[in-house]
């Protein structure tokens, strides 16, 4: 897919390409991109043209920059004895350490139910362990996910090469806070009666909470869209996905994306 711009530097059309080299062109008056925190900057950067030599909507140079994810760790507490019957495993969340407090100089993040793990799920992370053992651990486990805030850094970025291949560079921030969050969560799980606690941190491959790469702001020199989600450069272009996040918080993003999209539709006069 490629964005086509026209005379007054507005979006004129979007062209879709098929694997067999056919394409079709869609024209319109207004365009809303919502391809996500990686695909949106890819589309904007890949659509560069003579009017927009650094990429569409990229007068600020911020498209693709400020990529944020979350430092994330799986925490699995297991105990010997009978199998556990876990239901509604995603309904528990703890924000006890979310904010700085008397015994924490900085916010640590959020801990939440992970959804049930099985031996097969964690085999890839522990290939040397027999599947039977992993399954036995998971049948007697409670499973959590700890996540901490990642801050926007210009050098954490999505780029796209001439063939359209995406490259992602990410050096997570907040690792000290995250290590403290995991240590506290581990202690809490042990105290709750699960003596065996296993952890697995996720790295750059976990792009599920990707955001920040077309950030929202009032300064056209430092952001890609204005507070209504409208491009500073192309006035008939809006972005309504996680790429407009100026910060990542330390919680799952989907509800914020939904709320922001409704707000963009409303304030931008799109509905
Ligand atoms: C395994 C997993 C579990 C998750 N669990 C949770 C959770 O429990 N809670 C939560 O809040 N969040 C969760 N997330 C994160 C959440 O799914 C994302 O943050 C959210 O979906 C991002 O929304 P978005 O609108 O930015 O992009 P997306 O939801 O990725 O939507 C982008 C859409 O654009 C389409 N697209 C992309 N490129 C193009 C193109 N060039 N042309 C046409 N279409 C295109 C894609 O096919 C997709 O449909 C999870 C993510 C994963 C991967």
Q: What predicted TM-score, i.e. pTM, was given to this entire model?
A: 0.94
E strands along 48-153, which residues? 72-78, 93-94, 110-113, 141-147
Q: What is the pLDDT of residue 104?
A: 87
Alpha carbon distance 22, 169 (integer Å): 33
Q: Is the dihedral of CA 160, 156, 39, 70 positive or negative?
A: positive
pLDDT at 7: 81
The whole-number pLDDT of residue 44 equals 98
Q: Tell which residue, 51, 44, 37, 59, has the closest CA to residue 2.
A: 44
Mutate to test the pocket of ligand 1, among 1, 3, 39 (most ligand atoms within 8 A of CB): 39
Per-residue model confidence as pLDDT tens digits over 88-131: 888 899 999 999 888 888 999 999 999 899 999 999 999 999 99
pLDDT, position 228: 94
Contact in structure between 107 and 177 (CB atoms under 8 Å): yes
Which tens digits make up the pLDDT trace of 205-230? 889 999 999 999 999 999 999 999 99
DSSP 8-state assignment for residue 117 = -
Which atom of ligand 1 is least distant from the CA of 255? Answer: 11
Return averaged pLDDT per consecutive 10 residues of the chain, 271 residues in all: 91 95 94 97 97 96 98 96 90 92 91 94 93 96 96 97 95 95 97 96 92 98 96 96 97 96 86 68
The closest residue, in CA terms, to atom 29 on ligand 1 is: 36
pLDDT at 102: 87
Tell how far CA 147 is from the center of its chain: 12
Check: CB of residue 71 under 8 Å from CB of residue 148. Answer: yes
pLDDT at 184: 96
Give the Cα separation of 261 and 271 in Å (integer).
Answer: 11
The tokens for 140 are 């007697």
Query: From the CA of 245, how far away is ligand 1's center (Å)?
Result: 14
Residue 24: predicted pLDDT:
96
Hey, is 145 helix, strand or coil?
Answer: strand
Structure confidence at residue 270 (pLDDT): 75
Contact 37, 241 (CB under 8 A): yes
Q: How far apart, in whole angstroms, are the C-alpha atoms of residue 252 and residue 241? A: 14
pLDDT number for residue 118: 94
Q: Longest Cα pair distance anywhere in the chain, in angstroms?
A: 71
């Amino acid at each position: 897919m490629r964005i086509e711009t026209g005379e007054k530097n507005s979006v004129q059309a979007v062209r879709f390409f098929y694997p067999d080299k056919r394409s079709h062109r869609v024209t319109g008056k207004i365009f809303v991109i919502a391809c996500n925190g990686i695909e949106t900057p890819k589309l904007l950067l890949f659509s560069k043209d003579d009017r927009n030599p650094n990429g569409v909507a990229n007068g600020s140079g911020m498209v693709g920059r400020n990529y944020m994810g979350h430092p994330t760790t799986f925490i699995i507490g297991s105990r010997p004895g009978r199998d556990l019957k876990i239901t509604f495993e995603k309904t528990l969340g703890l924000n006890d350490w979310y904010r700085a407090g008397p015994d924490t100089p900085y916010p640590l993040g959020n801990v939440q139910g992970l959804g049930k793990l099985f031996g097969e799920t964690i085999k890839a992370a522990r290939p040397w362990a027999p599947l039977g053992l992993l399954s036995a651990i998971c049948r007697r486990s409670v499973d959590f996910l700890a996540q901490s805030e990642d801050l926007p850094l210009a050098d954490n970025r999505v780029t796209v090469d001439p063939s359209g291949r995406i490259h992602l560079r990410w050096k997570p921030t907040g690792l000290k806070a995250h290590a403290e969050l995991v240590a506290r969560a581990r202690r809490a799980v042990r105290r709750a009666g699960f003596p065996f606690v296993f952890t697995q941190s996720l790295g750059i491959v976990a792009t599920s909470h990707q955001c920040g790469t077309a950030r929202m702001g009032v300064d056209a020199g430092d952001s890609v869209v204005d507070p209504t989600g409208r491009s500073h450069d192309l006035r008939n272009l809006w972005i309504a996905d996680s790429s407009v996040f100026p910060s990542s918080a330390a919680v799952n993003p989907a509800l914020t994306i939904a709320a922001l999209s409704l707000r963009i539709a409303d304030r931008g006069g799109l509905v």
